[in-house]
Structures are given as structure tokens and as C-alpha cells.
């Protein structure tokens, strides 16, 4: 069929370039301080492990985690506040903290807890004020510094956040979290050397710091210092081979560098540790599609179907791959499976129609295409397919009617106008094609393709002046349109008029498209018409090499050989032209005349 599907070109799920799985290693926003390093362990509460529900158990829990106020009344209300927080009642918790603060007004602990609630409620200014009061009362109470840093990060006040983390390191020089955040903040500001120095300081204190090594790799990746980034990621993987973020970042680096094979190695390694990782499965399947490794792509998408039941995305891709492989029955099964669960999914129905079309089951194809709603994004393509099927069946009235009905629903669809003109052209109703294209031009008066197409129709009608006018209109809109320049130049040359202008136009076209067989043929034909036979042969031989399957170009070279007296070469070239298009009777006549001439010699 003329509207041949190609999964490499049309699979609409694939994005151009590197698809980022869960955040790229460079150019992204501030990462979380602790990426996932192992599969999550989920435990469900059971009757044998009751949740804490009394003030006594909560008190024991609090003693292990936070500093407590010293005043007994403050302590009592502090515990109540903690209980309400545990029960997810921040308003009551805030009320109890405020009562506790009345009993112990200089407690940095209570003030920081109040600030935390304000922060969670979106009251950043109140939270900042309370944290500053806490630090006034206890300048070494680091939880207040940490909370202030979080607030400033949320407000994107990076300088203020940096100041807090630097303060933390002054009092707690071994605090890894402060190092990590501080290094990443400098990286966010593109102050990469400072970021590296900070994180190197962490590594000096703790050479086995997994996160320190990871973020050094991440920062080098942002700097596009990929080899250094790879080195740090590999060091992190020596500590934890299942470190998901490092594996993903390594895969992305290799993909960015164009080493797809190495990227695939790391994506596959991720799946060894995380076999249900849907994003990696999906992306790896896409990579295999780009490599046209259809079987591996199908394997990944089938895994995706297994882990995410009802995944239409995976089923669509499997169907499209089978369609590309011309395994139409398998493709049909996939698309029918999708439509069984989601009948309104027009994209699946569209490709179902394509499958039937490729199998030449035209009536079934028409049934599917006609079910697609005019509101669908694939409606236009479905209409074109309907038209082509009727054309294949030599039923041009139905093809034309189908496109006309589509135009009634979408009266400004230029694609429909062009296709309708094409159908009239096919049945040699050139006047109607001109009428359709003229109407389309009224809708889009600067559409170059419409003027060019109109010019070709006028040419078929033998309307030379109108042809030239249409092509000149193309050049008004785009003076570097090589096809229009060539069309005018060849039209002059073929009539033996304005040959100098023709040569100039064609040479201009050739500069724009230097390896175009048709333009090269036009230049050779100008030389032929000028009597420059040697130059004509030179250009026409190039044209035949560039476009060997064009009958007319082969004929032109034959004409040049004949003019040069090279009878044998001329006959061979005419025979080649006739092989390409056996219906051209004039070629048979040329061959017969030359053969008679050869006999007379």
C-alpha cells in the first residue's frame, strides 16, 4: 500500500534522544538527599505487633528520638502534642506545644516543633521566625538549623540554606547530611568546584560514604565530566552493587555518550536487582526498538504487561512491533485484546485497520477505520487509508465520497484537500483537482506545497503559463525552493526556450540540493538543448547513477548518446528505460530506428 506503516518512524511512544528514567544525572533539579539503594521492604502490621497507643509507649519512643523540655508541665503538654501528632491531628498538637511553651518559653525543642507544624501547614514565615527564636535560645540546637535549611530550600533561597548547612558543619563537622545538601546546593548554583570540595571533605572523613561518592559522580555528570562520574559511580557500586540510582545514572551516561550497548548492560543489571522496574523495562524495550532488536523489545514489553496487568502502552508497542515484522495475525491479537478492554481506544483500532489492510482484508479494514471518531487524533489518517483502500479496489467514486464526507466534518483540513485533488488527478479529472487546490489555497494562501502541487496539475493539463506562474508563486514564498527552481528551469529547457535562464535556475537548485538526480538530469538536459553534448552526457550519467530507476532520465542519457553518435550505448540506455516502464511505446520506436541505422552502417 502507498501509506506503508513503519514502527521506527511512527511509534508515537518513543521520544527523541535519551529518555530519562527517574531523573537525569545532569541538568535536573535538586535531587533528594538519599536515593533508593535497595528494594523497599514492606511489612504489614499484624495482631502480634500492635501500634503504640498509650502515652507511656509514646514517651518511651520520644526519649529515644528527641530532646525533652525540662519543666514538668511543659513536658506533660509536650507529650500530649506528640500524641496528637502521632494521631495526625496537627491543630491539637500545635495547641499543646503552645501551652508547653508557656511553661518553658525558652525551650528551643518546643519552638522547633511548633516551627515544623507551621512549615507543614505552608506558613513558612511563621516557621522561620520560630526557628530563629529557638536558635536565639540555643545557638547549638541543630534541628532548628536543619529545619531552617529545609524551609529556605522550599523557598529556593539557596544562599540562606547554604548558610544553615555551613553552620551545622561548624558544630557537627561529621554530619553527612549537611555535607550532601551543601554539596548539592553549590552544584545547583553551578559552583561545581565548591561542591566537589565539600563532598571531597566528606570522603576524607568517611572514604566509604556511599552517598558522598554517589553525589560526586552526579556532580561530575552535570559538568559532563563523564569519565570521572563513571569512576565515582563505580566506587559507590563497589559498596552497594544494587544501588539503583547509581546504576541508572551510569546507564544514562553511556546512552548520552552514544554507547547504547554499554547502557543496555546497565539497564539489564538494574532489572537483575529490580525485575519489576516498569520504567526501566519500558525504556529498555524502546532502546531495543531503536536497534530493531524486535524479539528483545517484545520480551521487555511482555514483562511489563505481566507486572502491570492491563498496560495498554506495552500491548500497543508489542502490536506495533508485530506489525513492523509483518506478523499480522499476532499484531491483530494484541490490538483486539486492547479493544476488548478499552473499545474507545482509537489508536488501537486504527492499527487494527492497518493490519487488515496489509492482509488485503479490505472490508474488515474499512469497518475499523470507519468506526474512528472525527474527534480522534488518528481520524485524518484513517480517512486517508479509507481513500487508498478504495483506490486499490479501483472504486474512485467511493474514495472521493469518503474524503468529501470527511471535509464536511473538517472543512479546513488541508490534508483532505490535497488527497482529494490527488484522487481527481489519478482519474485525470484535472479541472476538478485544480478547483480543489484553488479552494485549499484560499484557506492557506501561503502554503507552498499547495502552489507546487497546483503547478504540476497545470503541467499535466498542458497549461504552460499557469504552471510557471504557480512555481513562481512558490519562489515568492520561498526563493530557495530547489524543486520549484528546477521545475521552471526544466520546463524552459524541455521547450528549448530561455535556456540561459533555465541553466541559471537549475544551477541554483543544484547548490541547494547537490546530489539530486532529477536536478542533475535537468542540467544535463539544458546542455543537450544547447548542443553541449559532451557536458550533457557527463551530467546525465551522474543523474542515472543518482536515480537509476527513472525511465525518463535513462531516456535522456540515451538521447545524448544518440546525438554523440554512440549508437550501441544509446540502444542499451533506451532498453534500460523501457525495462523500467514497458508501456512507453516511443522508446520502442527509438530502439527500432537505431537498430535499423546500425544495420545500414
* 480-600 and 55-172 share a CATH fold: yes
State mean pLDDT over 470-478.
97
Reply yes or no on whether the pLDDT at 20 is more than 60: no
67: confidence class by pLDDT, cuts 50, 70, 90 = low
Mean pLDDT within 6-23: 41
pLDDT reported for residue 600: 77
> Could you tell me which CATH class the domain 480-600 is placed in?
mainly alpha
Contact 558, 573 (CB under 8 A): yes
Is residue 19 predicted with pLDDT exceeding 60? no
**Distance, CA of 333 to chain centre:** 27
Q: Distances from the Cα of 64 to the Cαs of 58, 67, 527, 571, in angstroms? A: 10, 9, 95, 100
- In the prediction, which pLDDT does 365 show? 97
pLDDT at 179 over 70: yes
Segment 72-91, tens digit of pLDDT: 899 999 999 999 999 999 99
Grade residue 391 by pLDDT with cuts at 50, 70 and 90.
Answer: very high
> Cell numbers 500492635 correspond to what residue?
50
Q: How confident is the model at residue 514 (pLDDT cuts 50, 70, 90)?
A: very high
* pLDDT tens profile 166-177: 999 999 999 999
Mean pLDDT of 477-498: 97
- In the chain, the percentage of residues whose pLDDT exceeds 90 is 85
**For residue 561, pLDDT beyond 70:** yes
Does position 5 have pLDDT exceeding 80, yes or no? no
User: Residue 512: which residues within 8 A CB-CB, separation 6 or more?
Assistant: 480, 482, 485
pLDDT digits (tens, 9 = 90+) for 569-579: 999 999 999 99
Q: What is the pLDDT of residues 522-543, one digit of tens each?
A: 999 999 999 999 999 999 999 9
The DSSP result for 70-124, as a single string, is: SSHHHHHHHHHHHHHHHTT-HHHHHHHHHHHHHHSTT-HHHHHHHHHHHHHTT-H
Specify burial of residue 114 (Cβ count, 10 A radius: 0-12, 13-18, 19+): buried
Q: Which residue has the higher pLDDT, 51 or 521?
A: 521
Q: Are 498 and 492 in contact (CB under 8 A)?
A: yes
Please state, in angstroms and rounded to a whole number, the distance separating the CA atoms of residues 24 and 47.
Answer: 43
The torsion angles phi and psi of 446, rounded to 5 degrees, stand at -120, 20
Distance of CA 177 to the CA centre of its chain: 36
* Res. 421 pLDDT band, cuts 50 70 90: very high
What whole-number distance in Å separates Cα of residue 252 and Cα of residue 249? Answer: 5
> Which grid cell is 335?
490490538
Q: What is the mean pLDDT of residues 162-185?
A: 94
pLDDT in tens, 358-386: 999 999 999 999 999 999 999 999 999 99
User: Residue 274 pLDDT > 80, yes or no?
Assistant: yes
Q: Are 453 and 420 in contact (CB under 8 A)?
A: no
> What stretches of 430-550 show up as alpha helix (H) in DSSP?
430-443, 448-460, 464-477, 482-495, 499-512, 517-529, 533-546
State which fold the 55-172 domain adopts: 1.25.40
Across 143-155, average pLDDT:
95
Q: Which of 38-42, 270-274, 431-435 has the least mean pLDDT?
A: 38-42
* 42, pLDDT greater than 70: no
Helix count (H) and strand count (E) of the chain?
A: 33, 0
pLDDT surpasses 60 at 303 = yes
- Taking the C-alpha atoms of residue 293 and residue 311, their distance in angstroms, rounded to an integer, is 21
Question: Which pLDDT value is given to residue 599?
Answer: 81
Write out the three cell numbers for 386. 479509507
Give the Cα-Cα-Cα angle 148, 67, 103 (nearest 5 degrees): 90
On whether the CB atoms of residues 79 and 110 are closer than 8 A, the answer is: no
Q: What is the pLDDT of residue 71?
A: 84
Nearest to 486 by CA among 426, 531, 579, 553: 553
**What does each C-alpha distance from 160 to 130, 145, 350, 541 come to in angstroms?**
16, 11, 56, 73
Tell me which of 38-42, 407-411, 544-548 is least confident: 38-42
**Domains of the chain, residue spans:** 55-172, 480-600
Task: Give the list of residues 6+ apart from residue 371 with CB closer than 8 angstroms, or none.
Answer: 349
Percentage of the chain beyond pLDDT 70 is: 89
Kindly tell me the burial class for residue 541, based on how many C-beta atoms sit within 10 Å of its own C-beta (0-12, 13-18, 19 or more).
Answer: middle
Instruction: Give the Å distances, CA to CA, from 358 to 2, 378, 411.
Output: 11, 18, 30
Torsions phi, psi for 156 (to 5 deg): 60, 25
pLDDT, greater one: 219 or 26: 219
Mean pLDDT of 390-417: 96
* Residue 574 near residue 566, CB atoms below 8 Å: no
Amino acid at each position: 500500500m502507498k501509506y506503508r506503516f513503519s514502527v521506527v518512524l511512527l511509534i508515537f511512544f518513543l521520544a527523541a534522544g535519551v529518555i530519562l528514567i527517574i531523573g537525569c544525572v545532569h541538568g535536573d533539579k535538586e535531587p533528594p538527599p538519599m536515593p533508593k539503594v535497595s528494594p523497599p521492604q514492606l511489612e504489614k502490621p499484624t495482631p502480634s505487633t500492635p501500634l503504640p497507643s498509650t502515652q507511656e509507649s509514646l514517651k518511651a519512643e520520644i526519649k529515644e528520638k528527641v530532646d525533652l523540655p525540662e519543666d514538668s508541665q511543659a513536658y506533660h503538654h509536650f507529650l500530649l502534642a506528640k500524641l496528637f501528632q502521632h494521631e495526625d491531628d496537627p491543630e491539637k498538637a500545635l495547641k499543646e506545644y503552645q501551652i508547653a511553651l508557656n511553661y518553658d518559653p525558652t525551650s528551643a525543642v518546643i519552638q522547633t516543633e511548633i516551627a515544623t507544624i507551621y512549615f507543614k501547614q505552608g506558613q513558612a514565615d511563621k516557621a522561620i521566625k520560630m526557628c530563629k527564636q529557638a536558635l536565639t535560645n540555643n545557638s547549638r540546637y541543630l534541628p532548628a538549623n536543619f529545619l531552617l535549611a529545609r524551609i529556605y530550600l522550599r523557598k529556593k533561597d539557596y544562599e540562606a540554606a547554604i548558610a544553615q548547612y555551613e553552620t551545622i558543619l561548624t558544630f557537627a563537622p561529621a554530619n553527612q547530611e549537611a555535607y550532601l545538601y551543601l554539596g548539592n546546593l553549590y552544584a545547583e548554583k553551578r559552583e561545581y568546584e565548591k561542591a566537589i570540595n565539600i563532598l571531597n571533605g566528606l570522603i576524607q572523613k568517611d572514604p566509604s560514604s556511599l552517598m558522598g561518592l554517589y553525589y560526586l559522580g552526579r556532580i561530575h555528570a552535570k559538568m559532563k565530566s563523564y569519565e570521572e562520574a563513571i569512576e565515582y559511580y563505580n566506587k559507590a557500586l563497589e559498596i552497594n552493587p544494587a544501588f539503583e540510582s547509581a546504576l541508572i545514572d551510569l546507564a544514562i551516561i553511556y546512552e548520552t555518550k552514544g554507547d547504547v550497548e554499554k547502557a543496555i548492560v546497565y539497564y539489564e543489571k538494574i532489572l537483575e536487582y529490580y525485575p519489576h522496574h516498569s520504567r526501566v523495562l519500558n525504556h529498555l524495550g524502546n532502546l531495543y526498538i531503536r536497534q530493531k532488536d524486535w524479539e528483545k523489545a517484545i520480551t521487555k514489553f511482555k514483562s511489563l504487561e505481566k507486572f502491570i496487568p492491563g498496560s495498554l502502552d506495552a500491548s500497543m508497542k508489542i502490536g506495533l512491533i508485530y506489525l513492523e515484522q509483518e506478523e499480522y495475525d499476532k499484531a491483530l491479537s494484541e490490538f483486539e485484546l486492547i479493544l476488548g478492554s478499552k473499545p474507545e481506544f482509537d489508536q488501537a483500532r486504527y492499527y487494527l485497520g492497518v493490519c487488515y489492510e496489509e492482509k488485503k482484508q479490505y472490508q474488515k479494514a474499512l469497518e475499523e477505520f470507519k468506526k474512528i471518531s472525527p474527534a480522534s487524533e488518528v481520524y485524518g489518517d484513517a480517512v486517508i487509508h479509507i481513500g487508498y483502500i478504495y483506490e486499490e479496489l479501483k472504486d474512485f467514486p467511493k474514495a472521493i465520497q469518503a474524503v468529501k464526507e470527511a471535509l464536511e466534518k473538517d472543512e479546513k483540513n488541508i490534508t483532505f484537500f490535497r488527497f482529494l485533488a490527488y484522487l481527481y488527478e489519478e482519474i485525470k479529472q484535472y479541472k476538478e483537482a485544480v478547483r480543489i487546490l484553488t479552494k485549499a489555497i484560499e484557506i492557506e494562501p501561503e502554503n507552498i506545497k499547495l502552489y507546487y502541487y497546483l503547478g504540476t496539475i497545470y503541467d499535466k493539463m498542458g497549461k504552460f503559463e499557469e504552471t510557471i506562474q504557480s512555481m513562481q508563486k512558490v519562489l515568492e514564498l520561498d526563493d530557495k525552493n530547489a524543486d520549484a527552481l528546477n521545475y521552471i528551469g526544466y520546463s524552459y529547457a524541455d521547450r528549448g526556450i530561455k535556456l540561459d535562464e533555465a541553466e541559471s535556475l537549475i544551477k541554483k537548485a543544484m547548490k541547494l540540493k547537490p546530489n539530486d538526480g532529477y536536478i542533475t538530469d535537468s542540467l544535463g538536459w539544458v546542455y543537450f538543448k544547447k548542443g553541449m553534448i559532451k557536458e550533457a552526457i557527463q551530467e546525465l550519467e551522474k543523474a542515472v547513477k543518482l536515480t537509476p530507476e527513472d525511465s525518463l532520465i535513462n531516456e535522456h542519457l540515451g538521447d545524448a548518446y544518440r546525438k554523440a553518435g554512440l549508437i550501441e550505448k544509446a540502444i542499451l540506455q533506451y532498453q534500460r528505460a523501457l525495462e523500467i516502464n514497458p508501456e512507453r511505446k516511443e522508446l520502442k520506436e527509438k530502439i527500432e530506428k537505431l537498430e535499423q541505422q546500425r544495420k545500414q552502417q
